[in-house]
């Protein structure tokens, strides 16, 4: 085949430091827009961004030469600096680590809706419960004592 064709979509999840509710509803949507800008600036495609006070979900498309760990590092570093620079929170920080799950093109709409309904979803399920469910559904082995 003389050319390359890819469809690489990731559902990325990461939390605030110590899973503290550090994202204020007053600037949450501005943060989500800023995250989208970071993703575009590094050559990715933001599809859906959402979350609540203690974590964010990103549904993004990436090119095959983009390393997921570098992408997440850049997103977290740049957004944390932005939160500080804008004066939203001097103590703001993201937790180390993240979850990244591949998403098939057929599931993009479903994952987009899931991300958009985070506030409603978390009325009945905590971030910790949600994250463990992601790991189990994805058959990712983990040791609970090292999870949080």
Cβ-in-10-Å burial (0-12, 13-18, 19+) of 113 comes to exposed
Q: What are the pLDDT digits (tens) for 37-79?
A: 999 999 999 999 999 999 999 999 999 999 999 999 999 999 9
Question: Which domains occur in the chain, in start order?
Answer: 9-141 (3.30.70.1290)
The pTM (predicted TM-score) of the whole model is: 0.93
pLDDT exceeding 70 applies to what percent of the chain?
99
* Nearest CA among 86, 76, 74, 104 for reference residue 30: 86
3-class SS of residue 58: strand
Question: How many whole angstroms separate alpha carbon 38 and alpha carbon 53?
Answer: 20
Question: How many whole angstroms separate alpha carbon 86 and alpha carbon 135?
Answer: 34
């Amino acid at each position: 085949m003389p050319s390359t064709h890819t469809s690489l979509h990731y559902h990325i999840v990461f939390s605030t430091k110590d899973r503290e509710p550090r994202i204020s509803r007053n600037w949450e949507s501005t943060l989500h827009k800023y995250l989208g800008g970071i993703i575009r600036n590094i050559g990715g495609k933001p599809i859906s961004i959402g979350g609540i006070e203690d974590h964010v979900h990103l549904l993004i498309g990436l090119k095959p030469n983009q390393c997921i760990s570098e992408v997440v590092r850049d997103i977290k570093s740049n957004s944390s600096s932005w939160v500080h620079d804008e004066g939203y929170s001097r103590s703001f920080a993201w937790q180390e680590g993240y979850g990244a799950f591949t998403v098939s093109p057929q599931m993009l709409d479903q994952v987009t809706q899931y991300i958009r309904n985070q506030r409603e979803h978390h009325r009945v399920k905590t971030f910790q419960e949600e994250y463990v469910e992601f790991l189990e559904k994805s058959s990712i082995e983990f040791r609970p004592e090292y999870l949080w």
